[in-house]
Amino acid sequence: MTTKEYIDNHQQRFIDELLDLLRIPSVSADGKFSNDVKKAADYIKQRLESAGADIVEVCETAGHPIVYGEKIIDPALPTVLVYGHYDVQPADPYELWDSPPFEPVIKDEKIYARGACDDKGQMYMHIKAFEAMNATNAQACNLKFMIEGEEEVGSDNLETFVRENKEKLTADVILISDTAIISNDTPSITVGLRGLSYMEVEVTGPSRDLHSGVYGGAVANPINVLCEMIASLKDANGHITIPGFYDKVAELSSDERKALNEAPFELDEYRSDLDINEVAGENGFTTIERTGIRPTLDVNGIWGGYIGEGAKTVLPSKAYAKISMRLVPHQVSDEITDLFTKHFESIAPASVKVNVKPHHGGEPAVTPTDSTAYAAASAAFEKAWGKTPIPTRDGGSIPIVSLFKEVLGLDTVLMGFGLDSDAIHSPNEHYGLFNYMKGIETIALFHENFAQLSK
């Protein structure tokens, strides 16, 4: 039996196993799910074992465990290190889901559940591709798996794990499916990811909530002040006003920008999908550029004062916001965090106090297109999808990619199979059965090609 036949023959079980994994609410950000996170790790361990791994360990960390597995068939062959994550984002707001987030359903050939695409569905394709190759005596490369449970909260403990286990993690390339393709008609390979700097700010006015009639007009309202401060972080052209923010931003040549914009993109479809009348962003850049090669600043949440039912007349003591900045090569997360902090403190009027606290961050990454591994991935898409994949820059972040390069000296191939419309991090997240099955097939072809091209 060929590997492809094996994959086709076992489609139903491959789907059922993913559904079992999706039933485990492994939300890394919320302590009340920590048992479920552990359960998901154990499930991955079991599945790696039954797929044929020789060694599988659940490695404890200061946080959630990392599942490590391997099957080394011949030290002379190249080694592929697969990275993925089994943790998921919180499913809130639950009421916006058409079916419960941890009770997966298949509708219109798509699996609906939190983590269906990001990243359980995409990660699990690698375990099934491994099973299929192993079962058909077709494993062409040595395989290592490193599946973590803290990607959605910044991968702090994975960083420690990687630094402490360089020997164990020796490989020729890292392979990750945790990104998107342009569409099922236009496959693509991600060659750039943005970095991240995530801040929380607190603005304090008076030491207690005040009557907004008795004091209003005479005492600074921290919510009003916070809004003004945030508004001033961008100018009319959509440029971020933090001094030094753009100093290290890599400017692409006009040829590079031209190539980037040749990727198919339908502005009308984009607008209607999001139900917006117009896009918005930095002047002088296209939508592809705004998400791919330009940094951003966004408020992710803002709160303070009275938000209960009815109206309470109050001049609040405090206002808060969570603000993220997406970074591009060669910005450095810690430097941007510093620049933001200094600037935010400097623009605060004397009538308030501000406190700026950094959350997690991560570096941007660019992966090579002239490598053996890229060629192997490209040829795998060509065979399975009938089209040469287009290299693209994604707007999201996988901070560990730059760390792999720094600590292990390894390049990554970002062979994702999701779609931007899969609603990752949103209600009704889903993943197409087509993408799941095609992904498994493409991954198996990658291994075959990588071994062949490495000779």
What residues line the site for ligand BES (CB under 6 A)? 118-119, 151-152, 154, 178-180, 193, 196, 360, 362, 394, 396-399
Instruction: Evaluate the CA torsion angle 363, 369, 374, 377 in order and state its sign.
Output: positive
Identify the CA nearest to 143 among candidates 448, 385, 455: 448
For 66, 107, 405, the CA distances from 146, given in Å and listed in that order, are 7, 31, 15
For the bound state, the minimum distance from the C-beta of residue 87 to Mn ion, rounded and expressed in Å, comes to: 9
Q: Point out which span in 178-186, 297-305, 375-383, 442-450 binds Mn ion (CB under 5 A).
A: 178-186
For the bound state, the minimum distance from the C-beta of residue 213 to ligand BES, rounded and expressed in Å, comes to: 42
For the bound state, the minimum distance from the C-beta of residue 114 to Mn ion, rounded and expressed in Å, comes to: 10
Q: Which contiguous run of DSSP H or E holds residue 315?
A: strand 314-315
Q: Does 119 sit behind a cis peptide bond, omega within 30 degrees of 0 on the bond before it?
A: yes
Nearer to ligand BES, 317 or 426 (CB): 426
Burial class for 429, CB neighbours closer than 10 Å (0-12, 13-18, 19+): buried
For the bound state, the minimum distance from the C-beta of residue 160 to ligand BES, rounded and expressed in Å, comes to: 16
Site of tokens 């099973």: 131
From the CB of residue 32, how many other CB atoms can be counted at a distance below 10 Å? 8
Nearer to ligand BES, 196 or 260 (CB): 196
363-391 burial, b at 16+ Cβ within 10 Å, e below that, comes to bbbbbeeebbbbebbbbbbbebbeeebbb
Among 17, 36, 87, 118, binds Mn ion (CB under 5 A): 118
Which tokens sit at 162? 């990687």
For the bound state, the minimum distance from the C-beta of residue 429 to Mn ion, rounded and expressed in Å, comes to: 10
Spatial strand order of the sheet with 296-304 comes to 296-304, 318-327, 195-204, 353-362
For the bound state, the minimum distance from the C-beta of residue 450 to ligand BES, rounded and expressed in Å, comes to: 22
Nearer to ligand BES, 179 or 372 (CB): 179
Site of tokens 């600074």: 220
For 92, 403, 414, 444, the CA distances from 155, given in Å and listed in that order, are 21, 10, 18, 27
Q: Point out which span in 138-146, 177-185, 203-211, 287-295 binds Mn ion (CB under 5 A).
A: 177-185
Per partner kind, with CB cut-offs from 5 to 8 A, the member of ligand BES, Mn ion, none near residue 17 is none
For 106, 186, 268, 426, the CA distances from 373, given in Å and listed in that order, are 34, 20, 35, 32
Per partner kind, with CB cut-offs from 5 to 8 A, the member of ligand BES, Mn ion, none near residue 131 is none
Nearer to ligand BES, 304 or 396 (CB): 396
Size of the site for Mn ion (CB under 5 A): 3
Nearer to Mn ion, 118 or 448 (CB): 118
Query: Got the DSSP string for 89-125?
Result: -----GGG-SS-TTS-EEETTEEESTTTTTTHHHHHH
Q: Is 178 one of the binding residues for Mn ion (CB under 5 A)? A: yes
Name residue 216's beta-bridge partners: 219
Nearer to Mn ion, 147 or 242 (CB): 147
Per partner kind, with CB cut-offs from 5 to 8 A, the member of Mn ion, ligand BES, none near residue 394 is ligand BES
CA 427, CA 94: separation in Å to the nearest integer? 7
Q: Provide the residue type at 11 as one letter.
A: Q
Per partner kind, with CB cut-offs from 5 to 8 A, the member of ligand BES, Mn ion, none near residue 179 is ligand BES
For the bound state, the minimum distance from the C-beta of residue 107 to Mn ion, rounded and expressed in Å, comes to: 22
Per partner kind, with CB cut-offs from 5 to 8 A, the member of ligand BES, Mn ion, none near residue 422 is none
Query: Got the DSSP string for 374-409?
Result: HHHHHHHHHHHHSSPPEEEE-SS--THHHHIIIII-
Can you say how many angstroms the Cα of residue 252 is from the centroid of all Cα atoms in its chain? 24
Nearer to Mn ion, 178 or 422 (CB): 178
For the bound state, the minimum distance from the C-beta of residue 396 to ligand BES, rounded and expressed in Å, comes to: 3
Residues 109 and 434 sit within 8 Å (Cβ to Cβ)? yes
For the bound state, the minimum distance from the C-beta of residue 424 to Mn ion, rounded and expressed in Å, comes to: 6
Nearer to Mn ion, 119 or 131 (CB): 119
For the bound state, the minimum distance from the C-beta of residue 175 to Mn ion, rounded and expressed in Å, comes to: 14
Nearer to Mn ion, 118 or 172 (CB): 118
For the bound state, the minimum distance from the C-beta of residue 365 to Mn ion, rounded and expressed in Å, comes to: 14
Among 119, 150, 411, 441, binds Mn ion (CB under 5 A): 119
**What's the maximum distance between 2 C-alpha atoms anywhere in the chain?**
82
- Taking CB positions, which residue lies at the least distance from ligand BES? 396
Nearer to Mn ion, 245 or 417 (CB): 417
Per partner kind, with CB cut-offs from 5 to 8 A, the member of Mn ion, ligand BES, none near residue 389 is none
Nearer to Mn ion, 429 or 448 (CB): 429
Per partner kind, with CB cut-offs from 5 to 8 A, the member of Mn ion, ligand BES, none near residue 396 is ligand BES
Residues that bind Mn ion (CB under 5 A): 118-119, 178
